[in-house]
Amino acid sequence: MSTIDSASVKAVFEQRSMYDAVVDGDYMFHVEINAAFGEWARAFGRPLRIVDLGCGDSGVAARGFTDAEVASYVGVDLAESSIAEARRSTAAWSDRVELICGDLLDALQQLPAGSANVVLASYSLHHFSTAEKQTLLAEIARVLEPNGALLWVDAVRRNDESRDEYIAALTSEVMDSWTALTIDERERACEHIRTADFPETEAWMMEAIAAAGFKVEKTLFREELFRGWELRKRQR
């Protein structure tokens, strides 16, 4: 992620009340995501060694895995305020938690190979360029053990949809429907989307995950603008 993009993303997610309003309003389907993660963890059936990329306040992980056995949790985020909130959200996991304030790729590259059995990427990878996403997916595959899971939730374009068309659709949705945010907050959210969101088509995403050594295990949820999958690292 470029310095300009990093600053833009960080500035938005330092606005805690704005982020909380998006989650509380379920505008990006956090209720559905939390339920899907909980169901996934029950089916996975073993202690979780989690790497959470773009963890925010770690609320997605804390709520999704509230009934799971968490052996370790590494959360990474650019925003200092998010990391401070994450310390509170993950307090129940005690000394099994490591929180890193910094760039996602830099943090991934410092982690040992095979050190995680699940990586969360919840609305984080779309902030990176196409080439950077490919590098991130390769690093995620390295960090995961064989048959480990990548839970990828993100903004997704239709295969016939340009970035400009997607951005227009999403910003229209924000202005019209995200009414828990003030008008000023909605305008700031739209400016962030225009400058820092680079969603890929679903076809590209499927090709990229296959190239990185993953297969689709399950669709976690599917909406018009956002989707999520459980991806498994292929065993060599």
Enumerate domains of the chain plus CATH numbers. 3-233 (3.40.50.150)
Helices 163-177 and 183-196, packing angle to 10 deg: 170
Give the integer Cα–Cα distance in Å for 150 and 230: 6
Q: How far apart are CA 34 and CA 42, in angstroms?
A: 12
By the 8 A CB rule, do 91 and 61 touch?
no
Residue 229: its pLDDT value, please? 98
**What is the pLDDT, as a whole number, of residue 235?**
82
Q: What is the structure's pLDDT at 188?
A: 96
d(CA 123, CA 155): 7
Amino acid 171: pLDDT = 98
Which residue's structure tokens are 């609305």?
123
Mean pLDDT by 10 residues, the chain (236 residues): 50 68 95 96 96 96 96 97 95 96 96 98 97 98 97 98 98 98 97 97 98 97 97 90
Task: Show the DSSP H helices in the chain as ranges.
Answer: 3-13, 16-24, 30-44, 59-64, 80-89, 104-109, 130-143, 163-177, 183-196, 202-211
pTM for this prediction: 0.92
Shortest CA distance to 116 belongs to which of 73, 164, 86, 61?
73
pLDDT at 95: 94
C-alpha neighbours within 13 Å on the C-beta side of residue 199:
29
Distances (CA, A) of 230 to 81, 136, 169, 222: 29, 17, 26, 12
**Residue 136, SS3 per DSSP:** helix
Query: How much is the pLDDT for 4?
Result: 43
pLDDT of residue 6: 54
Give residue 225's pLDDT.
98
**Which residue type occupies 149?**
A
pLDDT value at residue 17: 80
